[in-house]
Structure 1
Amino acid sequence: MSPMRRLIRPATALLLAGGVVLGSASGAPAQAQEMVIPLDSLGVGETTTFFGRTAEVPFTIPVPPGTTPEVLTGTFQLPIDFTGGFVELYSGGNLVASFPLEAENATAGVEIPLDQVEVAGDSASFTLRAVMDVEGEQWCREIPELSLLNGSVLYSGEAATPETVADFLPPILSTLSIYVPSDPSQPVQQAALELATSLESVYRASDVDIQILDLPGNRMEPGLPGGSLERQIVFSGTGEPGIELVNGGEESAFLRINGEDGQVGDQARLLADPILNLTSDNQVTASGFPTQTHTFRETATLNELGYSALTAEGVGQPAVYLTLERARFQLFVESADLTLTGAYTPLGEERGGEITVTVGGNVVDRFPADDSGEIDRDITIPGNQLGRYTDIAVAYRTTGDVSCGTTQPVALTIDGESSITVTETNAPSQAGFQVFPEGLLPTVDVAMSGGTASDLSRAASILTGVQSLSNAPLQPRIVSWDEAVGSSNPTVFIDADGNRMGEIPRHLAMTDTTLTPMTRSGGGGGAIGEPGSEDVDSARQLTMSEDLSAGSLQAVWDAGNARMILAASSNQNPVQLDRLLDWLGEDAARWAGLQGDVLVQAGDRAPMEFQVETQEPRQLIDRINLMIAIAVGAVIVIVAIVAPLIAIRRFRR
């Protein structure tokens, strides 16, 4: 459940709790015309950092029609050696308000009025400028950081109900429910998955909850209406292709997508296309909408990657930060060459300085500052140091007598024409879940052993989870199981009962009472090896004294077909697989935090992740044996080659 869904509750419950009054999200008439939404659910992020003693940060927040942003609340956390300061609010270039930061224990609560901020369309933009007061005459902090924590926005008014197809998708969406027939056709299956992944990409920053459900009783409408920030879409699977808004202007409004052939995909693609804003009617038919395909690139400048104004100024150590997203380049990256150009303030004879470049916290280049004040460096980053997102920092450190208020600050600028060029390889440099999302780009086949609405829901849960890792669009394609087994395309396999998992490479085999982790053969040319063949004489197993219910999600490099596989299965216990997928969907950080090869839900225990190694560290095998045995209350026979359990980090970009 997303943070927004947890906070938008009926007003009566919050009144009893003495909290903030919110509008109803149950579909009933609202008892109070206010709602509070955390900044994280508005796409701003959990924490906003102001770098430097004086810093400006722009904000853009969505505004649902019928509502007005009234107040931004939160807590500013100050560095320990700063006593307070003030914050200014600007809108449209004009100063709207100014108020002091009154710090106590290095924190200051704020309530920033937003009622005078300009609203354009479905969003409001403003800038906060913060200035901190340093304590005493001490030396200035190199890079002081002021952080806005636990921010939320209070909206007045009631979100308008949609009256046209163009109005159906609101700027803030908490839940999207997609309904399909119990036995959906292949075109409907593919259209539903395309719709789920494309809207996950559109609302990615706000952590929307997207689910695919059976139509209740094979009716053509949802069972219950959604709330004001929830939407429902029904695939009828019949009739002429088209989209119609049903019950427009009412709280029970929903969208129905008709059609049973390939044209149903056009209707789904319209909902994620900018041209949707032109559909000023409650019925529309779309045609000729191509699938959205991700384009890989070999090289890009920082400007092309969206970076501008890469300038920092400070007394001690100004620094410029940027983040490299691996999925924006080639499918599998062997290395990246960073051509870095820029300038810095030359120093006098009494001071010295050094420029350092760090990648992922590791210094990869350093050179002394000289009289030229110019930066022109070529840096190579190995592929195994390039994570899904890689932080790069360029810092200018100076020496000599430095003091607050008297020392002339120095500046550091990185040119936007600095470039990154990658070298492609034919296999991933990393393993398991770390290879996603690009391991499933640009087109991912989806094979389901059952093909039911339940399997479709599981596929959507996995694909939207992977899509949450990047804006690079996934393009799902429904194929038969037999076609997928021998394909060279990246594939998501859904085998809820586990009856056909033996047909594909895997890291973990499961029966009613036995878990058999596979070995992994070594890969060549820097590639991660694929699972080794099963060998009953050498494969170690974990055998239970009683039946064990387990579900798993496995990320496998299929070297024979040169592709990534993401396989979801169970040992005849689909409920366990559903529990695992539900657990992943409860917190977007869980998908981002996966680092291993296999995620297992065993019995009533919390899901566990492990990583398969290409070497056999016996002590680690014994350790993982003991940990799994304790988790499932089983008798150990011996476990195959696995690495230590990896703690699932809660991390979100």
Structure 2
Amino acid sequence: MTRRLCTLAAALAVFASVAVLPGTAAADPYVEAVAGPAVSPAIGWAQLGLADRMDIVGANQPSDTSIPVPAGVFPTMLTGEVGSIVNVTDGRLDILDGRGVVLGVVPIPPGAISVPFGVDIAAAQVADGRAKLSFVVRNAGPAATTCTQPPALTLSGLTTTFSGPAPDPVTVAGFLPGYLDRIVIRVGRTPTEHQQQAALDLVAKLTQLYRPMPVRIDVSDDAAPPQAVSPTTRVIDIRDGGRPGITVENAGTPAAVLAITGTGEQLVAQAGLFTDRRIGLAQSDSAVMVSSREGTDLTSTVKTFGQLGISGQTSVAGTTTLYTGFDAAAFGVGPISGATVHLKAHYTPIAGGEGSLLLRSGATVLAARSLDGSGTLDITGDIPVEAITSNVGLALELRYIPRQECAPLNDRVTFSVDPQSTVTVTPGAGNRGGFPALPMAFTPDFDVAIDSPDHLRFAAAAINLIAQQTQVTLRPRITRLSDAAGSGTGVLVVSGGRGLADAGLRPPLLPADGDTVDVGTAAGAANTLVDLHAPLGMVQAFTDRGRAVLAVTGTGDWSLVDTTLDHMRGLPSRWGSLTGDVVATGIAGQTVTLSVNEGDSMPHQPAPSDGWRWWAWASVAAVGAAALVAGATVLIRRRA
């Protein structure tokens, strides 16, 4: 994610904490960026924090949006599909940038039902980290009025690729170019607790640094470095011992490695250099964090739209909808059980005709109000607990009908959201729970408990996926499972079933002896024990005594956990696509998602009946081989 040094004072403070050691690199690490630019995969607009659908009504009326552009890259291709085409006669769709420069034209043939398109937008102007785009329908037919069907179409499946140089690094600043697709963090076979902490801190900070681009960050315990490293991959070594610092080894070659060294807390402190883009100050082949202090997060139950990045402006003749939303983790208060939206807006006063606004979240109507001659709007609506997730969507449905009969379509009302509007949240765990409650429930801090150092990579993968969904930098804290079990802080646990049971944690699916799995509610009212005769790899999100728990666990073959995590990475919005509370992969390599106790879309989740449990376990068992399912032994026991 694009981060900028906000003030000169902030920059000087960073200089005071970073001591640059002598090096042989040039003063400007980017002058040697001679390699061809690397191009990212297509990134869906939902991942960029934008609606991936736009409804355009009327000819010659611009529909504006802006794409976030991370530092060091530029947008290259815009792809999508034109559909729901109505009353467009021999028309076209013009795509312009913020200067009014035409970037591309999409012809819309007569009678077309849908038109896929790809437009080169590399020439788009980028200002303040965003590229503004305008979409305008041009139509050869007669001018429409409010008495005729105006030209209309829908843009869907919108994606953008980004490009940027990825040269062989020669400096610390140049080690992380604007675009990468993978970062490998090596910790060795037996990482110390400080190596583990430094590795997870790096995963969280680097994921945030590159957000919204979903850069994959892996932690590896391999003794040898990767044999073949692509130009868009970087390798970082974390070594506990020696002089504290950060050094580029094998500089200027494809085998370049960023070595992070130090003893104990000095090693962990080096990760502070990767907070935002301050690493760009280290324009030599080595640097050291002399001191580091994490900034104090401004946790609050009230934030303005401006603080949350919520904005919106449109003009309407007839009806239109503004889509926006907020990141619940931005409040830094952990899980929330409700929210109140106080919406303020300004619009063209309506002297004649009728206008109205309806505010909703999902299918829940929060408030509605008529628009009048005052030109100001001030309404309040409550978001119910069933609509609360880590990313809460809002929709503003606007309607304006002019008084003049058959008025021209340029008789419109302009509507603008006031950035001083507010969202007030109520902390509490009484929400949908499951996967939709994360990363909200893991802010600002959460514990990480790992039963074995070789399972560190699973914790890192989970943090990488979760951190892609929030604008807040996650702060994992390595601890023992016994200590984490007794705290009230959210916790990520990587452990077998025995470790979970000994800690008093009751996930929806608890691995038992051999290949058996115990399914039941946290209350233990009814449990089912299933012997799958085959291993299972699982990621589960559940609530334990009012705090969120994410459990990564398996029975037997833990490579199935890798398959489960890869399945999550392949979803359209990655972690943001998950519902329910269990994702599991069986021996046949098939991955299923279940809602055993939490995380589904029902307003009020009832306690599942025994018959439902049998159906759910038919789904779970399906991830194993069919022959094994046929031989499964099912034992049912009742607990008081």
Tell me the TM-score normalized by structure 1. 0.79
Which whole-Å CA distance do the structure 2 matches of 1:119 and 1:248 have between them? 31
1:244-274: CA deviations, max 9, x gaps? 1112122221201112311111212212343
1:77-127: CA deviations, max 9, x gaps? 254023433535447x4x55565432233426454474x66789xx99654
Which whole-Å CA distance do the structure 1 matches of 2:40 and 2:465 have between them? 22
Which whole-Å CA distance do the structure 2 matches of 1:57 and 1:509 have between them? 46
1:460–1:377 CA distance, 2 compared to 1 (3 A)? same
Which whole-Å CA distance do the structure 1 matches of 2:537 and 2:376 have between them? 57
> How far does residue 375 in structure 1 lie from its aligned partner after superposition?
1.6
> How far does residue 462 in structure 1 lie from its aligned partner after superposition?
1.3
Asked if the contact 2:125–2:132 (Cα under 8 Å) also holds between the matched residues in 1, the reply is no
Q: 1:556 aligns with which of 542, 546, 549?
A: 542
Look up the match of 1:612: 596
1:460-517: CA deviations, max 9, x gaps? 011112212212121111112322232222211111x433221232222223243221
Which whole-Å CA distance do the structure 1 matches of 2:392 and 2:416 have between them? 20
1:283–1:347 CA distance, 2 compared to 1 (3 A)? closer
1:32-71: CA deviations, max 9, x gaps? 9565444418975795747553133444645869xx98x6
The amino acid of 2:607's aligned partner reads Q
Q: In the alignment, is residue 252 of structure 1 matched against residue 255 of structure 2?
A: yes
Q: In the alignment, is residue 285 of structure 1 matched against residue 285 of structure 2?
A: no
Look up the match of 1:107: 115
> How far does residue 291 in structure 1 lie from its aligned partner after superposition?
3.7
1:411–1:554 CA distance, 2 compared to 1 (3 A)? same
Look up the match of 1:649: none
Secondary structure at the counterpart of residue 320 of structure 1: strand
Asked if the contact 2:400–2:412 (Cα under 8 Å) also holds between the matched residues in 1, the reply is no
Which whole-Å CA distance do the structure 1 matches of 2:552 and 2:215 have between them? 22
1:59–1:488 CA distance, 2 compared to 1 (3 A)? closer
Asked if the contact 2:273–2:289 (Cα under 8 Å) also holds between the matched residues in 1, the reply is yes
Q: 1:233 aligns with which of 214, 233, 236?
A: 236
Secondary structure at the counterpart of residue 162 of structure 1: coil
1:201–1:295 CA distance, 2 compared to 1 (3 A)? same
1:276–1:331 CA distance, 2 compared to 1 (3 A)? same
Q: Could you tell which deviates more after superposition, 401-410 or 589-598?
A: 401-410
1:117-146: CA deviations, max 9, x gaps? 6789xx996544332124555535598544
Q: Could you tell which deviates more after superposition, 397-406 or 613-622?
A: 397-406
Q: In the alignment, is residue 637 of structure 1 matched against residue 634 of structure 2?
A: yes
Which whole-Å CA distance do the structure 1 matches of 2:171 and 2:335 have between them? 43
1:111–1:199 CA distance, 2 compared to 1 (3 A)? same
Q: Could you tell which deviates more after superposition, 241-250 or 402-411?
A: 402-411
Look up the match of 2:488: 488
Look up the match of 2:25: none
Q: Unaligned stretches of 5+ in structure 2?
A: 1-32, 598-605
Look up the match of 2:369: 367
Q: In the alignment, is residue 464 of structure 1 matched against residue 464 of structure 2?
A: yes
Q: 1:540 aligns with which of 500, 525, 528?
A: 528
Look up the match of 2:559: 575
Q: In the alignment, is residue 516 of structure 1 matched against residue 524 of structure 2?
A: no
> How far does residue 183 in structure 1 lie from its aligned partner after superposition?
0.4
> How far does residue 379 in structure 1 lie from its aligned partner after superposition?
1.7
The amino acid of 1:465's aligned partner reads L
Look up the match of 2:497: 498
1:375–1:277 CA distance, 2 compared to 1 (3 A)? same
> How much identity, in percent, do the aligned residues show?
24
The amino acid of 2:616's aligned partner reads I
Equivalent runs, 1:437-476 vs 2, <5 Å: 437-450=439-452, 452=453, 454-476=454-476
Which whole-Å CA distance do the structure 1 matches of 2:151 and 2:327 have between them? 27
Q: 1:129 aligns with which of 128, 134, 137?
A: 134
Q: 2:577 aligns with which of 585, 593, 599?
A: 593
Cα RMSD after superposing both structures: 3.4
Q: In the alignment, is residue 209 of structure 1 matched against residue 227 of structure 2?
A: no
Look up the match of 1:382: 384
Look up the match of 1:647: none
Which whole-Å CA distance do the structure 1 matches of 2:634 and 2:135 have between them? 62
1:578-621: CA deviations, max 9, x gaps? 33233323446342222222222222142222223462424423
Q: 2:359 aligns with which of 357, 360, 364?
A: 357
Look up the match of 1:20: none
The amino acid of 2:260's aligned partner reads I
1:75–1:377 CA distance, 2 compared to 1 (3 A)? closer
Asked if the contact 1:207–1:588 (Cα under 8 Å) also holds between the matched residues in 2, the reply is no
Q: Unaligned stretches of 5+ in structure 1?
A: 1-29, 520-530, 642-653
Look up the match of 2:85: 80
> How far does residue 373 in structure 1 lie from its aligned partner after superposition?
3.7
Q: In the alignment, is residue 622 of structure 1 matched against residue 614 of structure 2?
A: yes
Look up the match of 2:335: 332
1:473–1:294 CA distance, 2 compared to 1 (3 A)? farther
Q: Could you tell which deviates more after superposition, 42-51 or 405-414?
A: 42-51
> How far does residue 532 in structure 1 lie from its aligned partner after superposition?
2.1
Secondary structure at the counterpart of residue 346 of structure 2: strand
Which whole-Å CA distance do the structure 1 matches of 2:550 and 2:106 have between them? 49
Look up the match of 1:322: 324
Asked if the contact 1:294–1:473 (Cα under 8 Å) also holds between the matched residues in 2, the reply is no
Asked if the contact 1:439–1:564 (Cα under 8 Å) also holds between the matched residues in 2, the reply is yes
Equivalent runs, 1:416-427 vs 2, <5 Å: 416-425=419-428, 427=429
Asked if the contact 2:219–2:456 (Cα under 8 Å) also holds between the matched residues in 1, the reply is yes
The amino acid of 1:191's aligned partner reads A
Which whole-Å CA distance do the structure 2 matches of 1:291 and 1:118 have between them? 35
Which whole-Å CA distance do the structure 1 matches of 2:417 and 2:44 have between them? 32
Which whole-Å CA distance do the structure 1 matches of 2:586 and 2:263 have between them? 39
Asked if the contact 1:143–1:314 (Cα under 8 Å) also holds between the matched residues in 2, the reply is no
The amino acid of 1:481's aligned partner reads L
Secondary structure at the counterpart of residue 239 of structure 1: strand
